[in-house]
Amino acid sequence: KAGVTQTPRYLIKTRGQQVTLSCSPISGHRSVSWYQQTPGQGLQFLFEYFSETQRNKGNFPGRFSGRQFSNSRSEMNVSTLELGDSALYLCASSIPAGNEQFFGPGTRLTVL
């Protein structure tokens, strides 16, 4: 069974731009969660989608948004990029009801 895939793997943007990251969950997984990982703050939860609905949200500004499609694929968008948005963005998928989350390799975003 294929794992969680994320595209692109690397991205370089400049301040003020916006970016869209994509995540394809493991087949059959309907929950997709997004995390931001930085050296300063560690791994922080962004949001979770289940059946195309945002079910949980972390403490990030409204510039961070996401969505989920009917095939469970998910995208996250960051608008008006800031230098501090440079991070590894990780996506994880799971079947519902408290099973483990399986992580993708992440998208490394660098904001210049």
Partner 1 sequence: GESVGLHLPTLSVQEGDNSIINCAYSNSASDYFIWYKQESGKGPQFIIDIRSNMDKRQGQRVTVLLNKTVKHLSLQIAATQPGDSAVYFCAENAGGTSYGKLTFGQGTILTVHP
Closest distance to partner 1 from the beta carbon of 5 (Å): 11
Smallest distance from partner 1 to CB 93, Å:
10
Which of 86, 75, 25, 12 lies closest to 47, judged by CA?
75
Binding to partner 1 in span 8-67, by CB under 8 A: 31-33, 35, 39-45, 48-50, 55-56, 58
Task: Please report, for residues 64, 70, 76, 85, the alpha-carbon distance to residue 89 in angstroms, rounded to integers and kept in the order given.
Answer: 12, 22, 9, 10
Judged by beta carbon, residue 58 or residue 75, the one nearer partner 1 is 58
CA distance 70 to 79: 24
Residues 55, 75, 5, 56, Cα dihedral to 10°: -10
Q: How far is the CB of 48 from partner 1 (least distance, A)?
A: 3
Where on the chain is the footprint of partner 1 (CB under 8 A)?
Answer: 4, 31-33, 35, 39-45, 48-50, 55-56, 58, 84, 90, 92, 94, 96-98, 100-106
